[in-house]
Amino acid sequence: MTVERTSPSSVEARFSLSGQRPLQLERPVVTASGVLGFGAEVAELVDLRDVGLFVTRGVSLAARGGAGLPRMVEVPGGMMHAIGRENPGVDEVIDRHGAAWRTAPCAIAISLVAADLPSLGKLIARLESRADLVGADAYELDLTVSSDALGGRRWESSLEESTRFIDAARDSTELPLIVKVSPDVVGPAQFAGAAADAGADLLSVSGSPVGFLPNRTRAASALAEGEGELSGPLIRPRALAAVANAATSGALPIIGGGGIGSPADALDYFAAGAHLISLGSALWADADLPRAVIESARRAAASRGGSRVADLVGTALYRSTTR
Amino acid sequence: MGAPPVTAQLIAVGELSPGRNTLLLRVPELIATLRPGHALHLVHAEAGGYRLRRVAPVTKIDLLAGSVEVALLPRADGGRDSLAELTAGAQIAVVGPIGQPIEIDSASQQLLIVSDGEGFAWVRLLAASLISAGRSVVLLVEARTAVELPAASLLPEQVEIVVATADGSLGHQGSAADLISTYSDWADQVIASGERGLLNAVTSAARAASAIDRTTAKGRRSTRRAGGSPRLQLLISHEIGCGSGVCGGCTFSSANESVRLCREGPAVSALGLSAGTRRDS
């Protein structure tokens, strides 16, 4: 059989969410929340023309103090961090960064941090009331944040509470909602279905799972907060499993991420069912990674005779028997 | 990110003290920009290809040779450091300078430096540069036991070194902080670097000796001397991060200040230390 070769440059990389809440991304690459700050500082870091969606650092209604030091340590196969979702509160974030969001060469998603539903409603209301200054294209609901209703456990640890959270957000805005979970989420496929029913538009399986490490003396934890969030290659197989499981539901388009350090890693996520790729701490060492991922995806699609990067999505999907 | 990486060539792997390695790098592009308090980021792939930007304090500069020595900070997990296993000729991507130089007043002639084995990497270059500038330097250095102390030969002979060991195997038995009262009146400025326990002890001892926030016997006053740099500065170490001040991984926050160590650090004033550090590392 002869496969007709396509020129990589002609492969379509855009991602479109149609329907009531459309979202058009020029490239299938997302920057993970927190990695590149809020946005105004980004020009010095990566070229956002290579990015489809910039997700801001987490924003809360009121200012949140951060964790003590150490906040970030190296662990075998990656790193562990506990920043504490430090931010100066929604109004100050808008004042400082709104202008950069409005003029960004890519779509902007504001990552929302809330420990209870009233705070979430007020946070979104505040953003919507200043929408002309914000210029957001979507909101990311970070369900890896601690929930008061769950006694400090993450929202994602309860399907019921997560659904209420998404419901509350859906009632507050017409913008697309991206629901972010980590590989720790219980039952990704079931979760994806419930999130879709509650009004989510995308599921981001790119959050960091929980980790813990004693320090060298074993007299305390390596991070001041005790537990931390894991990033890097050590989480990649778990994240890929969660992406694949969520993708089998077909309920929502998936953003996949966790430990992507190379274009080849990104291709694994497409193959596991991700429509979009989330890049994280690897950007600190390789600012050209977004462009390399897109070029690699185009080449991979072309080599398969495809005309769209979307043709790579789910090529390795399996029916999970483990969840 | 930020300044682009440049390629450094490894000349040799050395040691500050047992188990605390240094890399001597040829990187002439950066030499002229480096000052005491600066670090470099080493962008190095671990097994599996994952690259982080690791913080490496600058410990020595040789302008003529175009070389810089940096210290490898111990990993939190106690893991093997593949950088220390590189051989001469290896190439390493580096970014720098990271952080700000340590502020020393032009009027300060007598400097007291306090460190432990962890913190010595941040103050070795400072001590040498102060001696070169004709200042007087006393180093109070502590370790658990004598063999863990940095070698005296790493410093100019003009530096007066006073040793404290926890087991009493050399010098004063106890902490270097115990000795601060002896020198606090002599010192125009105090710089401390090390683990949190030492920094807390230094802060307490300096406060007790009126070296921070009360008038001293010489009439000096306050954490920040009029028109000058803080009387007591603490150098806070961090391991990894973005190096651009946006990831929040090295932010030291207290009631008094918020310092991104990779940008405004490594020095912080002493007053906020207890608020900004919840647990010893």
CA–CA min distance A139, chain B (Å): 20
CA–CA min distance B215, chain A (Å): 31
Tokens representing B32 are: 């002229």
pLDDT tens for each residue of B107-142? 999 999 999 998 999 999 999 999 999 999 999 999
pTM over 0.80: yes
Chain A residue whose CA is closest to B261? A69
ipTM of this complex prediction, to 2 decimal places: 0.89
CA–CA min distance A91, chain B (Å): 19
How would you write the pLDDT of chain A (323 residues) with one tens digit per residue? Answer: 555 567 999 999 999 999 899 999 999 999 999 999 998 777 767 899 999 999 999 999 999 989 999 999 999 889 999 999 999 999 999 999 999 999 999 999 999 999 999 999 999 999 999 999 999 999 999 999 999 999 999 999 999 999 999 999 999 999 999 999 999 998 999 999 999 999 999 999 999 999 999 988 888 999 999 999 999 999 999 999 999 999 999 999 999 999 999 999 999 999 999 999 999 999 999 999 999 999 999 999 999 999 999 999 999 997 555 54
Neighboring chain A residues of B49 at a CB cutoff of 8 Å? 233, 261-262
Please give, one letter per residue, the 3-state secondary structure of chain A: CCCCCCCHHHCECCEEECCCCCEEECCCEEECCCCCCCCCCHHHCCCHHHCCEEECCCECCCCECCCCCCCEEEECCEEEECCCCCECCHHHHHHHHHHHHHCCCCEEEEEECCCCHHHHHHHHHHHHHCHHHHCCCEEEEECCCECCCCCCCEHHHCHHHHHHHHHHHHCCCCCCEEEEECCCCCCHHHHHHHHHHHCCCEEEECCCCEECCECCCCCCECECCECEEEECHHHHHHHHHHHHHHHHHCCCCEEEECCCCCHHHHHHHHHCCCCEEEECCHHHHCCCHHHHHHHHHHHHHHHCCCCEHHHHCCCCCCCCCCC
Neighboring chain B residues of A262 at a CB cutoff of 8 Å? 49
Neighboring chain A residues of B93 at a CB cutoff of 8 Å? 285
pLDDT tens for each residue of A200-227? 999 999 999 999 999 888 889 999 999 9
Residues of chain B whose beta carbon is less than 8 angstroms from a beta carbon of chain A are: 1-2, 43, 46-54, 74-79, 93, 236, 238-253, 276-281
Beta bridge partners of B91: B9
